[in-house]
A and B are shown apart, each in its own frame.
Chain A
Amino acid sequence: MVEKVRLMQGNEACTMAAIAAGLEFYAGYPITPSTEIAEMCSEELPKVGGKFIQMEDEIGSISACIGASLTGAKAMTATSGPGFSLMQEAIGYASLCEIPLVIIDVQRVGPSTGMPTSPAQGDVMQARWGTHGDHPIIALAPGNVKECYELTFRAFELSEKYRVPVIVLTDEVIGHMREKVVLPDPGSYKIPMRAMPQNPAGYKPYAADPNGGVPLMAPFGMGYRWHCTGLFHDENGAPSSKPAVASVLMRRLNLKVENRADDLADYFAEGLEDCDLAVVSFGSSAMAALSAVRRARSEGYKVGMFRPKTIWPFPTATVRRLLAPAKRILVPEMNLGQLALEIERAAGCERPVIRLGKVNGELFHPDEVFAAIKEAL
């Protein structure tokens, strides 16, 4: 097996992984710190027969991606805070209509234009609840450049398999940092494929097991002639205002991801078995946190580390189990306690959850987390 080793940015790794996963369509709008992804797609996609378009705004970008995905193309867009806010309505559309789609959100300081373009992790809750109504969503958070590659590829696998928009939640530091990435040989992995129906006769676009089943998706232009609507719809795709239809649809839609929360759980854990203090952190904050945890260990403190790579659906049962030994939990994150809310819900009943929030555009320094660890103990 031939492996290629490359030094690359997180944004570059996301793009390379998307193309490896069979990306066929990218629509985007320039916004720092995500723009390299658009630039690279504009250059690379034509080489593999894919399409790139710079749309008039982020709403148009995600809308075009949904249109492309409906024809069977794997589609992606990338953005940052302000653009991610603009995409929320269409994220709801893609969730309801079950359109596979990958969105890279390279987080920056907000709200609003904020402090362009320093890093932040303030989109945790927006990734989950940014659009109106209960809806399924998957969000993955890489902690380094290598994981930008792995988790973007994974995002395509999950999106195509479960017909759900998947958000890759990186940040300015991860996006622009350069690290070594070992690129897999093109023959060594399976390209994610969407399950498709075999025959247009009797095709029901939304027929699936009500307990979280995933319907088969026919690409437009193949003779299935089905109707895709953002109105609640029955298994034939016909709009419906019947409470019974709405109830079946909403339950199946949400169970699709909820039922699989712990199968989807992906994380890094170290030294949790005997810890007094668990440090929970993700993305670029977790780099400083892990450094501080290891230093504390070497100095004899019983400290462990948990870093979720799957942020949504939140791996509640996994967190509860792995954090059981901890007497306290410290959550460093570049926001004012968004992940901490979930940790409190999952594991906070029996022990205090200490928030270590930072929203000034600066990264955590390992010393800062180390000091917080010592104080918490």
Chain B
Amino acid sequence: MAEFLSYFRQDRLPHIWCPGCGNGTVTGALVRAIDKLGLDKNNIVVVSGIGCSSRAVGYLDFDTLHTTHGRAIAFATGVKLARPRLKVIVITGDGDSAAIGGNHFIHAARRNIDITTIIINNNIYGMTSGQASPMTPHGMLGTTAPYGNVEYNFDLCELAKAAGATYVARATTYHYVLLEDLIAKAIMHKGFSVVEALSQCPTYFGRKNKIGGAVDTLNWIKDQTINVKAAAALPPEKREGKILIGELHSIEKAEFTQQYLEVIAKVQRANPSYARNKGVPGCELNSD
């Protein structure tokens, strides 16, 4: 445990999350994945939006960027395109990525830009105390769905895949080892990678829906999931209504920033006189 504390800004702890919240579990999985991969802290930028999950970046000892609601992926796109050598990781929530930030999410996937997006999906808006989100299941309760949610939720992994993401995986805070492993794979994947982490919000989602406390809500999530490998061996009726976890999609496809660098190289070869002499002052230190 103690060795992972070096990845945190310990002077900013304790965190603001409620007892039993899953955000810490996902943040822990991210840190352990980074540790396992042996990545240089100085080359990682972690970007987030607004919401409970987005507060994670404030506690992490990297260059961190806590942005506006829904825009984390757009800010991250600027960081990554300006400095392709950096590892750019987005931590976002279901409201942040699937509602207000949905457009940036699908377009980043379409571009296949090398950003890893970890969506902590707790089925609710936690920071504003329990409103229904695009990931609140049909019929379930939120403070803005007092008679049961009449809307349907997304399958975020199918959405990401359809939009062009080249690595898509799902795990839960219950399946912690799997979550850590999938985050590590997503970080090493060249292209837009998405890990949806199903997570418990006992304070609002669990309580409002009378599921119970943190452990009950965690079990409620676990009981709905089935590993994609196990599912393959099951007849369709046994897979009905289950949420698949594991690595759901992984393909190789040319990545956006690398293709852009190739364009620069091509244009500069054709016009050698254009290349700015020795780059822009002040930027040599950070150029690539």
Q: Which listed residue (A67, A191, A222, A229) contacts B82, Cβ 8 A?
A: A67
Measured CA separation A227–B61 after assembly (Å): 9
Number of A-B contacts (CB under 8 A): 166
Q: A67-B47, A221-B83, A229-B58 are in contact. Are A48 and B75 (CB under 8 A)?
A: no
Q: How far is the CA of A93 from the CA of B64 in the complex (A)?
A: 15
Q: Are A89 and B274 in contact (CB under 8 A)?
A: no
Instruction: Verify B78–A66 contact, CB threshold 8 A.
Output: yes
With beta carbons under 8 angstroms apart, the residue of A49, A59, A239 that contacts B276 is A49
User: Is A267 in contact with chain B by the CB < 8 A criterion?
Assistant: no
CB of B161 within 8 Å of the partner chain: no
Minimum CB distance partner of B263 in chain A: A46
A322 on the interface (CB 8 Å rule)? no
Cβ of B280: which chain A residues have Cβ within 8 Å of it? 22, 24, 74, 191
B71 touches A71 (CB 8 A): no
Closest Cβ of chain A to B171, distance in Å, is 27
**Does any Cβ of B come within 8 Å of A194's Cβ?**
yes
A24's contact among B82, B260, B263, by CB below 8 Å, is which? B82
Q: Is B127 an interface residue (CB 8 A)?
A: no
Complex contacts, A51 vs chain B, CB 8 Å: 81-82, 260
Q: Determine whether the beta carbon of A90 is less than 8 Å from that of B281.
A: no
A193 CB contacts on chain B under 8 angstroms: 281-282
- How long is the Cα–Cα vector from A230 to B57 in the complex, in angstroms? 13
The interface bits of chain B over 33-77 (1 if a CB of A lies within 8 angstroms of the residue's CB, else 0) are: 000000001110101000000000110011111111001001111
- Interface pair A46/B268, CB less than 8 Å apart: yes
- Chain B residues with CB under 8 Å of A65's CB are 78
Per the bound structure, the CA–CA distance linking A191 and B277 in Å amounts to 13
Residues 180 to 237 of chain B near chain A (Cβ within 8 Å): none
Task: For the complex formed, measure the closest distance between the CB of B5 and the CB atoms of chain A, giving whole angstroms.
Answer: 15
Whether the pair B283, A53 counts as a contact (CB closer than 8 A) is no
Q: Encode contact with B along A191-232: 1 for CB under 8 Å, 0 otherwise.
A: 101101000000000000000000000011111111111110
* Interchain CB contact under 8 A, B64 and A53: no
Q: Are B71 and A229 in contact (CB under 8 A)?
A: no
Contact with B along A47-76 (1 / 0, CB 8 A): 111010101110111011111111111110
Out of B61, B268, B279, B286, name the residue touching A71 (CB < 8 Å): B286
Contacts of B64 in A (CB 8 A): 225-228
- Please give me the residue from chain A that is nearest to B78 by CB atom: A67
- In the complex, the chain A residue whose C-beta lies closest to that of B71 is A63
Known: A49-B279, A59-B74, A90-B68. A225 touches B81 (CB 8 A): no
Closest to A227 in B: B64
Q: Specify the chain B residue showing the minimal Cβ separation from A191.
A: B281
List chain B residues, Cβ under 8 A from A73.
82-83, 283
Taken together as a complex, chains A and B put the C-alpha atoms of A244 and B267 apart, in Å, by 53
Contacts of A49 in B (CB 8 A): 264, 268, 275-276, 279, 287
A228 to B62, CA, bound (A): 11
| Further 4 A-B residue pairs, CB within 8 A, beyond A61-B74, A67-B65, A228-B65 | A49-B279, A60-B77, A63-B67, A239-B66
